A and B are shown apart, each in its own frame.
Chain A
Amino acid sequence: MSAPEPQPVFRDEVAAGVSLKPQHFEQAMASRAHEIWFEVHPENYLMQGGPRRRGLRQIAADRDISFHGVGASLGGPDLPDTDHLKAIRQLVDDIKPVRLSEHAVWSSIDHTYLAELLPLPRTQSVLSNLVAGVDAYQSAMGRTILIENPTNYLTVHSDMDEADFLLDVSDRTGCGLLLDINNLYLSAHNIGIDPKAYIDALPPGKVGEIHIAGFDADPQFGNRLLIDTHASAVADPVWSLLDYALAHLGPKPILIERDANLPEFSTLEQEVLRAQRMLDRLREPDHA
């Protein structure tokens, strides 16, 4: 299957944004943050109508929206579900997001949705499945997407390291990469990969968006196992790794991900502003 026409994976103007939840619709509409943008999981907006869909449409009229899918099962044993892709495409046509992204994981087998971002063994066979999944998704959307590196809690059987695996998919499909710094930090902590070597391996032109988020220690294993909860503020070591990534990759859209234990919107805005200041510093003359 041929990939859609390549498009730039990032825009000239890059800014910081935040996950958008229906509880924050009104504050998001009123936000005074100049360039703030919002990201949603499209799966949460696949209904015919109602206040949630209307709220998203209203915000999309004023602000950039990006879609971050969680249900496509791109690397699964079966191709992404065509009904699901059609539903996402209809939402894309309605909301017109500036970016589309999904996860380099799997979540479905035998028409059963497992509602988890399950890790992929990095073998040639699985690589082929992921390539086919990305091709199918991009064809259905009529545009290229970004795929996100997973959080690792266990070491999967592998023929290649994760950065090479994702870059291979990118080369074969034309998709870009979404670098989740929090996932990378947790993978480094949990299974011992080198996060800076991982970042160094990524060509800046391949990365179209960066995510940062909060994590929590596992209730059973404590700090030995860190969980990607998106339920707390971004931790200092993640900010530091973001700094390192920006120095290597240059300015990229940065998303503050928050999915649970939602604070006041103004609290999230403070994290957005911190990320925005990091982007602004890259534009200063001594960074030129």
Chain B
Amino acid sequence: MHDPYRGLSDFVLNGQASGLHHVFSGPQPEQIAILYRNGYLRACREALEARFPAVASAMGEVEFRKVCTAYVQTSPPRQRTLTGYGADFPDWLSTEVCSLMNPGLVDLARLDGAWLDCLFGLDENPLTALQLNQRIQSGDGLPVSLRLPRNARVVALDHSVFDVWLSIRQGESGAWVPTQPEASHALLWRPDMTVLSRQLDAWEARFYLSFQATDSLEEAAEHFLPATTNDHDLPITLEQYFARLIESGLLIAGD
């Protein structure tokens, strides 16, 4: 017995029309059934564009469309929603010719993906200075455990793309300029309904990676390095840095 499901899915996924007559009556059903294949490819492409807007902007429409078609062929959606489609797109992109030419594109994809993961991540109420003062005044002291918000993402970057990414996300996109190799990290987190982000110093990256992995502020603090410049925006002491964490909505009181 011929499988009508296979006949149509082969056409939608690969454009193979030979099985369509097991599904549809009439001659040349592929002329109209192309609606389904085009709809599938368009839905996947739109999902990728929604998740990776900076990559789409940097590549340009024509190139991004080609890349999406190739990606969809390699990694079709597995979940019954496209909201999270493309989780492995940055890794896949790192093997593509366009990325070998402009390797910063992969970092843009990592940042785009982390931004959406952060936006859709868990809602949590960060510890506030007021709450902390109340605890101290009531004799409770610091919460037993403090951790980063579960929606926080520490993103490893291989190229100096963070400022470019921010500009594109803020609608200030100009021509995409290939970037220089420069290892760094970025932090994305969402204290309320807006995703915040900033680039991290080397020690801060170690601090946040440790904090995220261990949920231990004490262990993370071992990576603290006081600022050695005269930049007054940087905290000088660990206590000042702790205050900065609270001010930024980066501390969640554990159970």
| A contacts, CB < 8 Å to B | 43-44, 46-54, 71-73, 76-77, 80-81, 83-84, 106-116, 118-119, 121, 126, 153-157, 218, 221, 225, 227
Contacts and interface: CB of A to CB of B under 8 A. Distances in A.
Contact of A154 (B33, B79, B122, B151): B33
A107 B39 CA distance: 12
A225 B40 contact: no
B26 A227 contact: no
Interface string B191-220: 001000000000000000000000000000
B120 A44 contact: no
Contacts of A121: 4, 23
Contacts of B83: 43-44, 46-47
A113 B77 contact: yes
Given A48-B121, A110-B9, A116-B39, 20 more contacts: A46-B81, A49-B121, A53-B123, A72-B80, A80-B80, A84-B80, A107-B80, A111-B78, A112-B13, A114-B36, A115-B39, A116-B12, A116-B43, A118-B8, A153-B33, A154-B25, A154-B29, A155-B26, A157-B4, A157-B23
Contacts of A77: 3, 5
Nearest to A109: B9
B251 interface: no
B80 A43 contact: yes
B6 A49 contact: no
A213 B35 CA distance: 19
Contacts of B81: 43-44, 46, 71, 84, 113
B19 interface: no
Given A44-B83, A50-B190, A54-B193, A114 B40 contact: yes
B98 to A, nearest CB: 24
B28 to A, nearest CB: 10
Contacts of A110: 9
A53 B36 CA distance: 30
A38 B76 CA distance: 31
B122 A115 contact: no
A222 B119 CA distance: 41
A107 B80 CA distance: 9
A119 B5 CA distance: 10
Contacts of A48: 120-123, 151
B59 interface: no
A73 B80 contact: yes
B224 interface: no
23 contacts: A43-B83, A47-B119, A47-B120, A49-B151, A50-B193, A52-B120, A71-B81, A72-B80, A83-B79, A84-B81, A108-B80, A109-B5, A112-B77, A113-B80, A114-B13, A115-B77, A116-B40, A121-B23, A153-B32, A153-B33, A154-B25, A154-B29, A157-B25
A60 to B, nearest CB: 16
B4 A126 contact: yes
Contact of A115 (B6, B8, B24, B82): B82
A54 B123 contact: yes
Q: Which of A80, A121, A126 gathers the greatest number of chain B CB atoms within 10 Å?
A: A121
A227 B35 contact: yes
A115 B84 CA distance: 13
B13 to A, nearest CB: 7
Given A108-B80, A113-B77, A154-B26, A49 B122 contact: yes
Interface in B1-49: 3-6, 8-9, 12-13, 22-26, 29, 32-33, 35-36, 39-40, 43-44
A155 B44 contact: no
Given A115-B40, A118-B36, A153-B32, A49 B120 contact: yes
Given A47-B83, A113-B76, A116-B43, A156 B23 contact: yes
A113 B26 CA distance: 27
9 tightest A-B CB contacts, nearest first: A71-B80, A47-B120, A49-B123, A43-B81, A115-B43, A113-B77, A84-B80, A51-B193, A154-B24
Given A81-B80, A116-B36, A50 B120 contact: yes
Q: Which of B3, B43, B81, B193 gathers the greatest number of chain A CB atoms within 10 Å?
A: B81
B181 to A, nearest CB: 33
A50 B39 CA distance: 28
A133 to B, nearest CB: 12
Q: Which of B4, B13, B36, B193 gathers the greatest number of chain A CB atoms within 10 Å?
A: B4
Contacts of B190: 50
Nearest to A227: B35
Given A154-B26, A156-B24, A106 B5 contact: yes
A284 B213 CA distance: 66
A121 B5 CA distance: 9
